[in-house]
Chains A and B, each alone.
Chain A
Amino acid sequence: MAIKFDKISDGQYQLDVCGYVCPHPQMYTKKALQKLASGDELTLLFDNPSSGESILSMCESEGNEVFNREDGEGSFTWKIRKS
């Protein structure tokens, strides 16, 4: 179970931090977003509920947009567009 960060297509990336608890998900998300260019989209998979709130606040303060959220049974798939 390792952290997976992949480029899916042009401007589309995916970060999978399932199985990790605080603070990994938010810190890896921050790191991944730093690697993206403006307008790129990141699909983020995680399963630690409390990281979600932190990631939401972080995106808000940095101006990145969480534009799609699919919340399943304890698993979350979010799409973030870098500003």
Chain B
Amino acid sequence: MQASKQRSVLAHEGGYKAMSITAIVVVLSVVLLAMDMRWIYLLVYVWFGVIYGVLLQYGRFCMASAIRDLFAIKVPRMAVGVMIATALFSITAGLVTATGYSTFHPHPLGWHIIAGGLIFGFGMIFTGGCASGSLYKSGEGNVASMLVLLSISFSQALFVDLGSWSNSFTPSSWVASAAEKGMPESLSVNDGWFDSFTAGYIWDLSGGTVAQSLDTGNNWLDVFIGNSLLGAILPTIAVLVVLYFATYRKGYLRRNKLESPTFGDEMRGGWAMMTASKNTALAGLGLGVFAGLQMWATGALREHYNIFNFGELLQKMGYTEGLSVQQTVFDPGYWYITTQEAQLGGWVLDKAGVDVMDNIFFGLMNGIPNPLINAPLLMSVGIIAGAAILALTRHEFKWKVPNMETAVFAIVGGALMGIGARLGMGCNVGAFFAAVTNGDMTGWIFLAGMLGGGLLGVKAFTMWIDWRTSADDDFDI
């Protein structure tokens, strides 16, 4: 019985393709390990990416859907899923932090976070997917989402590499502060707006986690009470209560013919909302568990190889091209999306003859490694592969070539997402999901910005659709 059920899942064209993709990833992994066991560090990123891709596609996990469906069609399903994932990830992240394997760095607090969230949130309404959503949708054969990824990559690379013309927009206080940092000449810290922004503004700010500010002397208490409970779980419950009353309650009471609901009815309603899409909630649970495991696995490997950053390992293995002046590469050790896409854009620009290593973002911090050995970028490739594997298996894969309208939205929206991500220092994953679950409250500020931008985006988008349907005879009956 079990065997025949399994045959029906995989014995079709999509199933064979899914198995082929899996086989390719396995074979490449084995070959890499046979060449040098140290590639395990990179493969951890790849395989966690594949798992994230499967989970994202399974739960259709997308922050753009979460915010947009909430405002545009009053459907809280995805927002609820994201909140459940947040609460669960905060627990696994807490375990990793308390045992000392955390790779997380809190973000500095400042106006840039809300500004970045606003621009990112506005853009993602038009692209139809957030940074992680665009990755899994690419795996479903959605060419528009692939355009979004390219647009995010190049807009970020160009934004961090703004030329001398942008200097006139730089406040003199940033210039003065940046000049005092004693950066190497080669980085020309006050040439380009983003460099002065980083060295003269961001570096003067500070950030921290709730656990660090509690500081009771008991590490486990700090982490679980501070980061997990106060920083993530209680805010999550508050958001869920608001979502229930604002969007779900009315329909629930009507469907169940409850005119004067008791407290028990309300609780059952809340539970019904949380379980309305089991897939999203289950994906959230899985993402929480694996995102924690990834931090643990990377932290353990760093300890094993006695390194702080993948750049050191690459150097030992003989790869020095594209490393930053500190001999590092971008290596967050947890789920992250946009920075490695910026590196892809930067690498291509570099090959095209543009000097991008004279800026802080690439030259000092992240480097521009060859995409084939860029571990976080391969995590993104893994996400696309994982999503494709599940979409093919579930008969949901289809090549979808965008029309002009969708393509323009993808490119313009993607560019806004790229700029927003660099200003806010991350996307819906790096600046929100991975932040709030590690006790970094700047993530909630980024979410507030994203909500504001999302609301404006939905208003603009609705106006666009109204105009289209009034101008377009096809929509009249």
A residues contacting B by CB (< 8 A) are: 1-7, 13, 19-24, 26-28, 30-32, 35, 47-50, 53-54, 57-58, 60-63, 71-75
15 A-B residue pairings within 8 Å (CB atoms): A5-B475, A19-B406, A21-B128, A22-B129, A23-B72, A27-B461, A27-B462, A31-B475, A50-B65, A54-B77, A63-B251, A71-B395, A73-B398, A74-B140, A74-B395
B interface residue count range (under 10 / 10 to 19 / 20 to 34 / 35 or more): 35 or more
Is B422 an interface residue, CB under 8 A from the partner? no
Interface residues of B in 224-258 (CB under 8 A from A): 247-248, 251, 254-255
**Residue of A whose beta carbon sits closest to that of B457:** A23
Residue B69, interface by CB 8 Å: yes
Confirm or deny: B352 has a beta carbon within 8 angstroms of a beta carbon on chain A: no
A73 touches B251 (CB 8 A): no
Task: State whether the Cβ of B397 lies closer than 8 Å to any Cβ in chain A.
Answer: yes
Could you say which residues of chain A place their CB within 8 Å of the CB of B475? 3, 5, 28, 31-32
Taking CB atoms, residues of chain A closer than 8 Å to B144 are 21
Distance from A52 Cβ to chain B, minimum over Cβ atoms (Å) = 9
Chain A residues near B72 (CB-CB < 8 A): 23, 26-27, 30
**Across-interface contacts of B142 in A (CB, < 8 A):** 21, 48
Contact B474 A21 (CB under 8 A): no
Q: Does B397 lie within 8 Å of A74, measured CB to CB? A: yes
8 Å CB interface, B448-463 against A? 461-462
* In contact, A23 and B68 (Cβ under 8 angstroms): yes
Residue B125 is within 8 A (CB to CB) of chain A in the complex = yes
Residue in chain A with minimal CB distance to B248 = A61
Find the B residue at minimum CB distance from A7.
B477
* A22-B64, A31-B469, A54-B75 known; A62 vs B145 contact (CB < 8 Å): no
Do the beta carbons of A74 and B396 come within 8 Å of each other? yes
* Among B125, B276, B398, B465, contact of A75 (Cβ-Cβ < 8 Å): B398
Determine if B107 is an interface residue (Cβ-Cβ < 8 Å). Answer: no
B379 at the interface (CB under 8 A from A): no
- A53 and B128 contact, Cβ closer than 8 Å, known pairs A7-B477, A19-B402, A27-B73: no
* Nearest 10 A/B pairs, CB to CB: A74-B398, A22-B128, A61-B251, A50-B60, A21-B128, A57-B75, A1-B403, A49-B396, A57-B77, A58-B73
| Residue of chain B at shortest CB distance from A4 | B474
B477→A5 contact, CB < 8 A: yes
Within 8 A of A (CB), among B137-189: 137, 140-142, 144-145
A13 to chain B: which residues have CB within 8 Å?
477
B65 touches A54 (CB 8 A): yes
Contact of A28 with B402 in the complex, beta carbons under 8 Å: no
A20 and B407 alpha carbons, distance in the complex (Å):
10
Chain B interface residues toward A at CB < 8 A: 14, 60, 62, 64-65, 68-69, 72-75, 77-78, 125, 128-129, 133, 137, 140-142, 144-145, 247-248, 251, 254-255, 276-277, 279-280, 391, 395-398, 400-403, 406, 461-462, 465, 469, 472, 474-477
Determine whether the beta carbon of B472 is less than 8 Å from that of A2: yes
Q: Please determine whether B251 and A60 come into contact, CB atoms closer than 8 angstroms.
A: yes
CA distance in complex: A58, B76 (Å): 9
- Residues A61 and B75 in contact, CB atoms below 8 Å apart: yes
With both chains docked as a complex, state the minimum distance between the C-beta of B145 and any C-beta of chain A, in angstroms: 7
A50 CA to B60 CA, complexed, in Å:
6
How far does the Cβ of A12 sit from chain B's closest Cβ, in whole Å? 11
**B400 touching A47 by the CB < 8 A rule?**
yes
Enumerate chain B residues within 8 angstroms of A30, measured Cβ to Cβ.
72-73
- CB–CB B77/A53 < 8 A: yes
Chain B hits for A62, CB < 8 A: 251
CB atoms of A27 and B14 under 8 A apart: no
Expressed in whole angstroms, the Cα–Cα distance for A57 and B280 within the complex equals 13
Knowing A5-B477, A31-B469, A74-B395, say if A23 contacts B406 (CB, 8 Å): no
Pick the contact of A63: B68, B141, B255 (CB < 8 A): B255
* Residue contact B402 to A49, C-beta cutoff 8 Å: no
**Shortest beta-carbon distance, B308 to chain A, in Å?**
39
Chain B residues near A31: list those with CB within 8 A: 465, 469, 475
Complex Cα distance, B68 from A74, in Å, reads 23
State the CA gap A29–B69 with chains docked (Å): 13
User: CA–CA, A62 to B68, complex, Å?
Assistant: 17
Q: State how many angstroms separate the Cβ of A58 from the closest Cβ of chain B.
A: 5
